[in-house]
Amino acid sequence: MDHFSLIGGEMHAENVPLARIAAEVGTPVYVYSTEAFRGFARAFRDGLKQVGRHHVAFAVKANPNLAVLRLLANEGFGADVVSGGELSRAIAAGIPAKDVVFSGVGKTRKELVQALDAGIGQFNLELEEEGVVLAQIAAARGERAPAALRVNPDVDAGTHEKISTGKAENKFGLPIDQAPEIFDRLAKLDGIEMRGVAVHIGSQLLGLEPLEKAFVRVGQLLAELRAAGHTITHVDLGGGLGVAYRPGDVPPTPEAFGEMVARVTRDWDVELMFEPGRVICANAGVLVTEVLWVKPGAVNPWVIVDAAMNDLARVALYDAYHDIGAVRPGGAKFVANVAGPVCESSDVFAKGREIDQVVGGDLIVLRSAGAYGATMASTYNSRPLVPEVLVSGDRFDVVAQRIPAEVIMAEEHVPDWLK
């Protein structure tokens, strides 16, 4: 199901040559495949066929582009948002407010009000005080906010430490052993309807065991809460399923995930919620970049490309691996470093990697860039904000324009006292 493949020796996204997009839009540019998004979305849904009542909310932070959100809304996905900005995007993309879950450890009062105004489906609370404040705001409006308690099960997700969220020392969720008393106190408040629990232990999980451990623990909590007289109708099992970045990565299939969930949750009698991000979009996008120079290096040559860490931060941020290939591979390979122009030694996409042999002017792609790619882009080094293109069959559309440094500069201002 790879929609980025060589046709006549040249890499295409679906039926569009990447070189054509590069020529018309310029580089660097993210290119997404409509069919790939759809395929991953449907595979995830199919995997959950064995699971009872459930609802899938796409984790917007993985790829918040409006066109992508619309595409997934058309597939029946809701949204998991972590800011007022993401909430605005979800609504603008046509996702019904009732299908929106608001996660995150630092929601502001303003964002809580925005979410109440929108009428979202569920607030995932990260601490007791947040619930108290939400209940006050909602009660003053004569409303009851639907809420779940996000618990931290103290499970090691076995993923990179910077994308782990379910260990006791992480900032996320509240300690699961304190959940019953906190739930109890919050459930007594007017202005809040405590209806469930939520868990999300981390991202890019390549094994199901940590997830199963966390879900089993949540099942015990569910029984405890019910024994204490609470009505629990919703359990949010979060996201985190990993994807293949390196050749040889074998992530759990959606079927295997669904089988595990169905087994663990068989007797729960709740509506389950899922918040997949990466698994829906990572392999639906590539970053296309032009080779500027091949610079001799002390150990290996440096392939200097026009994309940089400001366009794709994952490598600098958490040592991520992106497969790299030429858009028109000639067959020859060489061992090289691949780096961007940004003035930071961490602006390196690959070191000592065997890749297609390239020269200045060639195009290359960094694969698996559809999740946590463009969304993390910045304008560091006063570089433009990277554009995004969505392909469908033999057509494409620029779904996010390149924002030039001059446009960003226009929002800045020199105070009078310096004039």
Ligand X SMILES: *Cc1c(COP(=O)(O)O)cnc(C)c1O
Q: Is 276 in the site for ligand X (CB under 6 A)?
A: yes
Assigned token pair, 182: 């906190």
Nearer to ligand X, 104 or 384 (CB): 104
Cα–Cα distance between 251 and 257 in angstroms, integer? 10
From 48, 59, 355, 365, residue interacting with ligand X (rule: CB under 6 A) = 59
Q: Is 217 in the site for ligand X (CB under 6 A)?
A: no
Cα–Cα distance between 298 and 311 in angstroms, integer? 26
Instruction: Choose one: 40-48, 237-245, 288-296, 386-394; the region binding ligand X (CB under 6 A).
Output: 237-245
The residue assigned the tokens 């390239």 is 358
Q: Is 45 in the site for ligand X (CB under 6 A)?
A: no
CB of 388 to ligand X, least distance (A): 18
Cα–Cα distance between 69 and 59 in angstroms, integer? 10
Alpha helices in 26-108 (DSSP H): 34-47, 66-74, 84-92
Q: Is 80 in the site for ligand X (CB under 6 A)?
A: yes
From 17, 240, 252, 258, residue interacting with ligand X (rule: CB under 6 A) = 240
What is the three-class DSSP state of 274? strand
Q: Is 278 in the site for ligand X (CB under 6 A)?
A: yes
Cα–Cα distance between 284 and 31 in angstroms, integer? 8
Q: Is 285 in the site for ligand X (CB under 6 A)?
A: no
Q: Is 367 in the site for ligand X (CB under 6 A)?
A: no
Instruction: Choose one: 136-144, 186-194, 233-241, 351-359; the region binding ligand X (CB under 6 A).
Output: 233-241
Cα–Cα distance between 199 and 210 in angstroms, integer? 12
Given a contact cutoff of 8 angstroms between Cβ atoms, the answer to whether 12 and 4 are in contact is: yes
343 given a catalytic annotation: yes
The residue assigned the tokens 């996204």 is 13
Choose among 125, 263, 104: nearest CA to 191.
125
Cα–Cα distance between 234 and 218 in angstroms, integer? 12
Among 343, 410, 414, 418, the one annotated catalytic: 343
Interactions with ligand X, residue window 95-154 (CB under 6 A): 103
Bridge-based pairing state of the strands 348-356 and 271-274: unpaired
Q: Is 314 in the site for ligand X (CB under 6 A)?
A: no
Nearer to ligand X, 80 or 388 (CB): 80
CB of 102 to ligand X, least distance (A): 10
Q: Is 193 in the site for ligand X (CB under 6 A)?
A: no
Nearer to ligand X, 61 or 89 (CB): 61
Q: Is 62 in the site for ligand X (CB under 6 A)?
A: yes
Choose among 196, 214, 276, 194: nearest CA to 242.
276
Active site residues: 343
Binding site for ligand X (CB under 6 A): 59, 61-62, 80, 103, 200, 203, 238-241, 275-279
